[in-house]
DNA sequence: CTGTTAGCGCTTTCAC
DNA sequence: GTGAAAGCGCTAACAG
């Protein structure tokens, strides 16, 4: 079918075939409207026939626009991030950008590599969606004039936009929900406390517990690492306490899945013996056994907000926007939360409709 | 700390600062050994001080080497693929390459886009790990002289390497395992039959059933789509049959998770009422409730084999290697497989140690 | 509206 | 061993 273009077909080949100059080819290919419609058509046809693909590198080199947005995530094997990546890519493609993914795996060296790659490849903006990253590195990108958006405290970084996540709202709803159906002994398994966002979630949990006037004993707060293994280990600790919790709130869904595994492994029933609440609402949360009650943080919200901030910066690099927006979270009640066994009213089904915590029922 | 390099620092700046020519900088940065050690050191220091990062695009443009390997996957939100990506990236980085990810989402248009991107960005090789992709597109890359490796039938493509997965071995072990503990009514939920690999798995299942002289009624073979939703739907169909299966083998783990959800949702017990076997052995398979018996296809094997083939091609593009290797699969027995309820010997625990199917016990 | 020309930042002959 | 110079494929002035 297509004849082998052993001579790599470049813009010159197309120009010759269409009988125009390379400048015209360039203009036509880039949809510049001032090109004569007739010529443009001829160029397009020639390009088609030769199976021409513009060399992105050359284009980026001369134009200074790479057409890429960098996206730095923590680790790709935590399902939350692929979902984020997908959302991000969808939005980016819609606006004519490609994305360049970097994952830090929580390692300082990989973080450096990520940043270096982003700079080298001349991305036009970087979204740091890693929930905690070395500020110096981010600063480096800012200094190089690359628009940056990250998740974190407002204005933590001069010259970078930031996104806040309303951890408090979701955690508050979760604790309220548990309290209403009779739980008081509520434990929390956090993320790695080196991460700012993990600390924020933990703090939000404790504030929520204060608001129901229930102090949290220190052994009820355990540091996890946002993995299933961490959740498993945390739950094992919690379950070997003399005074066991009747509910465990987790810093993310992977942790919750680990807890579910540990609890079931001991022959305990969820939610009868123990309630579990996750955080993120990854797709799989709907399919655990039983389906996971969790706090949703919509990754499409994150993706859209991040891209908005970035593209605004790119458009008006002078008057930096330094956008700041709040990403909402909210409780999704499924079936890992219910009345504690000791509670007067004995029920198997979760108490979704009864709580006053305005939970949203699952899809 | 670092002074703002508002004048983008390029190779010239480094040359000036080190008091050498740009050619020497280039050589020093690329570790060419013929450079005077003294000068090299001076160059490195200058680069350091200026915080110099070579422009990848320019380098690729002139050298023709982009330092990137393309990796095309089906969809990033199926956990198997992130695990594959991770393995692949680890191997690639070890050999001095970066990877460029493309996901097809099973859409013909996205497949085209993926291939276009790979060509435009001048990747030095492409691994098509999508378990079924338009052959014309692959052909296009081959014709452009890009080394390609894909999963599929041996020599299906002139000039491209291919990896075979030994689906038969794993499926055979799975069926044997079930048969030994008393199952005969075994159903299969396939992947989308448009995918070659899905067809292969289904065929391998049927062959395995033949080998135990047990015909499979047509209503026991259902087409899924490799998602949890597909597994759920398939299980629902299977469970509303008058004559229900006592075991369900799935074309991948996501399907199995969907089945688990459906089965549990109906109040049935796994494995007492029904046994479930997955395929892939994604990390999460260890954490389902109960933990999933599954057929392992190690993504590190896939990644390594793919990269080997690619790099061999890159090194000796003339004498094309067209490697062909076989990726093994094997059964990992966990707790979703056990004696069927009707069976004489009634047990709750799985029969891992008893079967003759040489299953490997879980980690 | 189209063509000519000058680079983008870098690697790589080819002389010295 | 080092430097000068010639491009890699393309876009963006600038003339015409």
pLDDT tens by residue, chain B, 363 residues: 333 444 679 999 999 999 999 999 999 999 999 999 999 999 999 999 999 999 999 999 999 889 999 999 999 999 999 999 999 999 999 998 999 999 999 899 999 999 999 998 999 999 999 987 888 899 889 988 899 999 887 766 778 888 999 999 999 999 999 999 999 999 999 999 998 899 999 999 999 999 999 999 999 999 999 999 999 999 999 999 999 999 999 999 999 999 999 999 999 999 999 999 999 999 999 999 999 999 999 999 999 999 999 988 666 544 455 556 799 999 999 999 999 986 444 444 444 444 444 445 545
Q: Are strands B247-250 and B221-223 parallel, antiparallel or unpaired?
A: unpaired
Query: Phi then psi for A155, rounded to 5 degrees?
Result: 55, 30
Query: B70: exposed, middle or buried (C-beta count within 10 Å: 0-12, 13-18, 19+)?
Result: buried
Question: Would you state the pLDDT for residue B325?
Answer: 79
Question: Would you state the pLDDT for residue A324?
Answer: 67
pLDDT digit string (tens) for A3-62? 344 467 999 999 999 999 999 999 999 999 999 999 999 999 999 999 999 999 999 999
Tokens of B327: 């990726």
B2 neighbourhood in chain A, CB within 8 Å: 140, 143
A288 neighbourhood in chain B, CB within 8 Å: 261, 288-289
Chain D bases near protein Cβ (<7 Å): 1-5, 7-13
Tokens of A136: 């110096």
Contact flag B55-A120 (C-beta cutoff 8 Å): yes
Q: Which of the nucleotides lies closest to A59 (Cα–C1')?
A: D10
Number of neighbours of residue A217 by Cβ within 10 angstroms: 11
Å between CA of A23 and C1' of D15: 14
Question: Would you state the pLDDT for residue A211?
Answer: 96
Contact flag B228-A119 (C-beta cutoff 8 Å): no
* Gap between the Cα atoms of A16 and B13, Å rounded: 38
Q: Which of the nucleotides lies closest to B26 (Cα–C1')?
A: C11
Q: What is the CA radius of gyration of chain A?
A: 26
A5 neighbourhood in chain B, CB within 8 Å: 143-144
* Gap between the Cα atoms of B351 and B276, Å rounded: 13
Q: Which of B291, B267, B300 is nearest to B350 (CA)?
A: B291
B57 neighbourhood in chain A, CB within 8 Å: 57-58, 60-61, 66, 121-122
Q: Which of the nucleotides lies closest to A27 (Cα–C1')?
A: D11
Question: Would you state the pLDDT for residue A355?
Answer: 43
Per-residue DSSP letter, B311: H
A103 neighbourhood in chain B, CB within 8 Å: 89
- What counts of helices (H) and strands (E) characterise chain B? 12, 13
Query: A310: exposed, middle or buried (C-beta count within 10 Å: 0-12, 13-18, 19+)?
Result: buried
Closest Cβ opposite residue A79 in set B79, B89, B98: B79
The reply to whether A219 touches chain B by the CB within 8 Å rule is no
Å between CA of B34 and C1' of C14: 16
The reply to whether B355 touches chain A by the CB within 8 Å rule is no
pLDDT digit string (tens) for A112-125? 999 999 998 999 99
Q: What is the DSSP string of B113-174?
A: HHHHHHHHTT-S-EEEESSS--HHHHHHHHHTT--EEEESSTT-STT-EEEEE-HHHHHHHH
Question: Would you state the pLDDT for residue A259?
Answer: 98
B103 neighbourhood in chain A, CB within 8 Å: 89
Q: What is the CA radius of gyration of chain B?
A: 26
The reply to whether A210 touches chain B by the CB within 8 Å rule is no
CB-CB contact of A103 with A132 (8 Å): no
Taking CA–CA distances from B256, the nearest residue in chain A reads A287
Q: Which of B66, B131, B140 is nearest to B99 (CA)?
A: B66
* Gap between the Cα atoms of B305 and B162, Å rounded: 10
Question: Taking the C-alpha atoms of A237, A241, A246 and A249 in order, what is their torsion angle to the nearest 10 degrees?
Answer: -30
Looking from the CA of A86 toward its CB, the CA atoms found within 13 Å total 21
Å between CA of A28 and C1' of C1: 12
The reply to whether B260 touches chain A by the CB within 8 Å rule is yes
- pTM of the entire predicted model: 0.90
Query: H or E stretch including A59?
Result: helix A56-63
Q: Which residues pair with B161 in a beta bridge?
A: B149
> Between the CA of residue A83 and those of A90, A361, B113, what are the distances in Å?
11, 21, 20
Task: Write the CB contacts of A349 (distance below 8 Å, at least 6 apart in sequence).
Answer: A335, A338
Q: Which of the nucleotides lies closest to B27 (Cα–C1')?
A: C11
CB-CB contact of B134 with B111 (8 Å): yes
The domains of chain A, with CATH numbers, are 11-54 (no CATH), 68-165+299-327 (3.40.50.2300), 167-297+331-347 (3.40.50.2300)
Question: Would you state the pLDDT for residue A312?
Answer: 81
Tokens of B60: 């690729």
Question: Would you state the pLDDT for residue A7?
Answer: 63
Taking CA–CA distances from A231, the nearest residue in chain B reads B287
Query: Phi then psi for B128, rounded to 5 degrees?
Result: -100, 95
Q: Which of the nucleotides lies closest to A24 (Cα–C1')?
A: C2
Closest Cβ opposite residue B260 in set A58, A257, A289: A289
Query: Phi then psi for A66, rounded to 5 degrees?
Result: -90, -15
Q: What's the maximum distance between 2 C-alpha atoms anywhere in chain A?
A: 87
pLDDT digit string (tens) for A308-356? 989 886 665 444 555 567 999 999 999 999 999 864 444 444 444 444 4
* Gap between the Cα atoms of B237 and B98, Å rounded: 44
pLDDT at A363 over 70: no
Per-residue DSSP letter, B185: -
* Gap between the Cα atoms of A105 and A146, Å rounded: 23
């Amino acid at each position: 079918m297509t004849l082998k273009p052993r001579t790599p077909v470049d813009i010159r080949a197309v120009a010759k075939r269409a009988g125009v100059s390379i400048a015209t080819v360039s203009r036509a290919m880039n949809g510049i409207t001032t090109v004569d419609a007739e010529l443009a058509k001829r160029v397009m046809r020639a390009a088609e026939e030769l199976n021409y693909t513009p060399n992105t590198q050359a284009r980026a080199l001369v134009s200074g626009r790479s057409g890429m947005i960098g996206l730095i995530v923590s680790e790709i094997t935590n399902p939350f991030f692929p979902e984020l990546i997908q959302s991000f890519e969808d939005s980016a493609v819609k606006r004519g950008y490609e994305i360049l993914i970097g994952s830090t795996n929580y390692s300082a060296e990989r973080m450096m590599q990520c940043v270096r790659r982003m700079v080298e490849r001349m991305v036009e903006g970087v979204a740091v969606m890693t929930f905690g990253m070395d500020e110096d590195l981010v600063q480096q990108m800012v200094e190089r004039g690359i628009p940056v958006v990250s998740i974190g405290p407002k204005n933590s970084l001069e010259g970078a936009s930031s996104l806040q996540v309303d951890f408090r709202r979701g955690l508050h709803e979760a604790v309220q929900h548990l309290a209403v159906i009779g739980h008081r002994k509520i434990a929390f398994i956090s993320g790695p406390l080196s991460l700012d966002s993990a600390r924020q979630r933990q703090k939000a949990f404790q504030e929520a517990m204060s608001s129901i006037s229930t102090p949290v004993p220190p052994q009820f707060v355990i540091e996890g690492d946002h993995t299933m293994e961490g959740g498993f280990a945390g739950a094992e600790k919690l379950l070997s306490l003399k005074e066991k919790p009747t509910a465990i709130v987790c810093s993310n869904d992977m942790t919750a899945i680990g807890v579910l595994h540990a609890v079931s492994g001991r022959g305990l029933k969820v939610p009868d013996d123990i309630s579990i609440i996750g955080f993120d609402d990854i797709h799989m949360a709907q399919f655990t056994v039983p389906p996971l009650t969790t706090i949703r943080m919509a990754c499409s919200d994150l993706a859209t907000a991040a891209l908005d901030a970035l593209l605004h910066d790119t458009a008006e690099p002078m008057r930096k926007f330094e956008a700041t927006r709040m990403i909402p979270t909210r409780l999704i009640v499924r079936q890992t939360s219910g009345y504690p066994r000791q509670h007067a009213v004995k029920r198997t089904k979760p108490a979704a409709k009864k709580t006053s915590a305005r939970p949203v029922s699952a899809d």
